[in-house]
């Protein structure tokens, strides 16, 4: 039962991750901005999807992959991307446009075209690291948003 509860919390965090922004910026990438994503274009499989949440001084962490989830990401050379999150029978796909400037990844999700989210990105030919946060959400429904930090490690498929 404890594992089922952890999976439910992780899935909730996943939903929050794809619905929250780490930015107040409402300027999506423009046609004049170059996506600069050619070197990370292709198909990627997550081998780590780590969420860390601070609940009133108590740090809770979970790895979506260790809990049985799968994440697949496809990035096109023009910066368009889609990410598929799978946990048990549940699947959620999100898509959007990304622009890379050195180690800064700017993302505009299709479901929120007027909001830009920012993440740190690092890569080699075979590994892609994306870190971000804090993302904020009221996890315990007390009216106060708590920060969540996310960290993803993908390998090229």
Q: How do the domains of the chain map onto residue ranges? A: 2-156
The CA-based angle 154-116-76, given to 5 degrees, is: 45
- The CATH code of domain 2-156 reads 2.40.128.360
Tens of each residue's pLDDT in the chain, 157 residues: 444 444 444 544 444 444 444 444 444 444 445 678 999 999 999 999 988 887 778 888 888 899 899 999 999 999 999 999 998 999 989 999 999 999 999 999 898 899 888 999 999 999 999 998 665 545 455 877 566 788 999 999 9
Element (H, E) at 82: strand 80-87
Q: Tokens 């969540």 correspond to what residue?
A: 148
Element (H, E) at 107: strand 104-109
Q: With the CA atoms of 20, 145, 6 and 119 taken in that order, what torsion angle do they form, in degrees rounded to the nearest 10?
A: 40
């Amino acid at each position: 039962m404890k594992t089922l509860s952890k999976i439910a919390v992780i899935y909730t965090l996943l939903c929050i991750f794809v619905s929250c922004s780490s930015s107040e910026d409402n300027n999506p990438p423009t046609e004049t901005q170059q996506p600069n994503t050619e070197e990370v274009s292709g198909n990627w499989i997550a081998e780590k999807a780590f969420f860390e949440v601070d609940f009133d001084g108590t740090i809770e962490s979970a790895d979506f992959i260790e809990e049985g989830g799968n994440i697949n990401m496809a990035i096109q050379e023009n910066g368009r991307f889609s990410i598929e999150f799978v946990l048990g029978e549940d699947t959620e796909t999100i898509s959007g446009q990304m622009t890379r400037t050195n180690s800064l990844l700017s993302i505009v999700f299709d479901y929120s075209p007027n909001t830009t989210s920012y993440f740190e990105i690092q890569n080699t030919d075979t590994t892609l690291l994306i870190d971000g946060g804090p993302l904020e959400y009221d996890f315990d429904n007390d009216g106060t948003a708590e920060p969540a930090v996310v960290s993803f490690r993908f390998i090229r498929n």
